[in-house]
């Protein structure tokens, strides 16, 4: 049952971010996180080794963003165990650490030994295949961390809500969005099905002004989804497919290609197919 619920409302992240720092602002002003959270600085400030290379940062299986040299991310995590990685599936270079409430942690992303790329063509004049660099994370002392951050610029965190709002809450907030009020009685803005059958009886197609609102609705749904994407587990692809199909359906509705009732029916069918796929996985 829990796995099915994840297809309907995706898991809540334990990560939130701070919006108190602007690009280029020093780290001293946020060195002390809230008493109930742990501050985490992840930075790149290397010399010549790997200076031009860029690798992503993943925290607990969720993408934070790419981290070029001379930049950093600041996160606020709940106390407890967390994992830093440069790839979604994890690997031997993952760094596991215990986040402590009220404390700031500093981690440097560095590039290490190069490993052969399986199946790659040999380099000219070489007897081995092409190489790819590996990234890893090293915990730094408070003194070294603060010193390195002084030369770095803060980056915007990807796929995490800056305000700490989780996706389910973000989706639910669409129900009370003033900009979407004119269509709130014609579509289930948050995806809730309390009035599904009444929506399926609407034969009206969206007018010109409503079509613009439907486009806005689709954009806001996508922002909610990107702020907190589904966990990369066995149900990940099902969730991604369901959302993509839903967005395509909204696009068609915004072009007046169907009635509100037809939209509700097709949306319900997408959800049911996703639940059937999840049940099939549970049965294996």
Domain boundary (154, 187, 217) is at 154
Are residues 202 and 131 part of one domain? Answer: no
The residues, any chain, with a CB within 8 Å of residue 142's CB and separated by 6 or more, are 104, 106
User: Do 140 and 203 lie in a common domain?
Assistant: no
* Tens of pLDDT, residues 55-95: 888 888 788 888 999 999 888 888 999 999 888 777 788 99
Percentage of residues in the chain with pLDDT exceeding 90? 35
Residue 215 lies in a domain: yes
Is the residue at 149 inside a domain?
yes
**For 25-57, what is each residue's pLDDT tens digit?**
444 344 568 888 888 999 998 866 667 788 888
Domain boundary among 103, 124, 154: 154
Chain centroid to CA 199: how far? Answer: 31
Whole-number Cα distances in Å, 219 to 6, 154, 261 = 22, 26, 21
Of the three residues 121, 154, 187, the one that is the final residue of a domain is 154
139 plus 52 within the same structural domain:
yes
Terminal C-alpha separation, the chain: 15
- For 132, the domain range is 19-154
Q: Does pTM top 0.85 for this prediction? A: no
Rounded to 5 degrees, what are φ and ψ at 33?
-75, 175
CATH no. for residue 111? 2.60.40
Same domain for 182 and 95:
no
pLDDT the model gives residue 48 = 61
> Per the domain annotation, does 129 fall within a domain?
yes
Q: For the chain, what is the domain count?
A: 2
CA distance readout (Å), 254 to 199, 207, 211: 16, 9, 4
- Domain for residue 7, yes or no? no
What is the rounded average pLDDT of the residues 241-249? 94
The average confidence (pLDDT) of the chain is: 77
User: What are the structure tokens assigned to 197, written together?
Assistant: 């059958």
């Amino acid at each position: 049952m829990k796995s099915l619920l994840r297809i309907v409302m995706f898991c809540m992240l334990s990560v939130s971010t701070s919006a108190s720092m602007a690009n280029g602002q020093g780290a001293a002003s946020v060195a002390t996180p809230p008493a109930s959270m742990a501050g985490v600085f992840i930075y790149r400030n290397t010399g010549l080794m790997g200076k031009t290379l860029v690798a992503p940062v993943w925290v607990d299986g969720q993408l934070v963003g790419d981290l070029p040299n001379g930049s950093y991310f600041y996160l606020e995590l709940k106390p407890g165990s967390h994992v830093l990685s440069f790839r979604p599936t994890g690997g031997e270079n993952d760094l596991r650490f215990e986040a402590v409430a009220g404390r700031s942690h500093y981690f440097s992303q560095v590039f290490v030994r190069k490993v052969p790329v399986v199946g790659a063509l040999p380099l000219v004049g070489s007897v081995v295949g092409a190489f790819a660099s590996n990234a890893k994370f090293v915990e730094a002392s408070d003194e070294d961390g603060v010193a390195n951050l002084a030369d770095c610029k803060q980056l915007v965190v990807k796929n995490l809500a800056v305000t700490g709002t989780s996706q389910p809450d973000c989706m639910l907030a669409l129900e009370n969005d003033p900009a979407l009020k004119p269509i709130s009685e014609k579509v289930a803005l948050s995806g809730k099905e309390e009035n599904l059958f009444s929506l399926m009886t609407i034969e009206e197609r969206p007018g010109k002004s409503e079509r613009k609102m439907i486009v806005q609705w689709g954009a806001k749904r996508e922002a909610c989804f990107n702020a907190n994407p589904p966990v990369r587990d066995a149900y990940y692809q099902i969730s991604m497919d369901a959302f993509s199909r839903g967005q395509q359906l909204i696009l068609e509705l915004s072009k007046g290609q169907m009635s509100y009732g037809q939209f509700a029916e097709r949306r319900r069918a997408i959800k049911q197919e996703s639940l059937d796929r999840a049940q099939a996985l549970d049965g294996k």
